[in-house]
Amino acid sequence: MRLILVRHGRTEENVRGVYQGHTPGVLTELGWGQARKLGERLKGEKLDAIYSSDLGRTADTAREVIKFHPKTPVVYTPLLRERDLASLVGKLKSEWHDKPKPNGVETKEAMNARAKKILGTAYDKYPSGTVLFAGHNGINRVLISLIIGKNPQYSGELERQKDTAVNIFEIREGDDHEIILLNDASHLD
Residues noted as catalytic: 8, 82
CA separation for the pair 67, 1 (Å, rounded)? 23
CA separation for the pair 9, 71 (Å, rounded)? 23
Asked if 98 contacts 74 with a C-beta cutoff of 8 angstroms, the reply is no
Q: How many CB atoms lie within 10 A of CB 182?
A: 16
Asked if 94 contacts 61 with a C-beta cutoff of 8 angstroms, the reply is no
Q: Please, which residues have CB within 8 angstroms of residue 5's CB and are 6 or more apart in sequence? A: 132, 133, 135, 140, 143, 144, 166, 167, 168, 169
Q: Please, which residues have CB within 8 angstroms of residue 40's CB and are 6 or more apart in sequence? A: 68, 187
Q: Please, which residues have CB within 8 angstroms of residue 95's CB and are 6 or more apart in sequence? A: none
Asked if 27 contacts 60 with a C-beta cutoff of 8 angstroms, the reply is yes
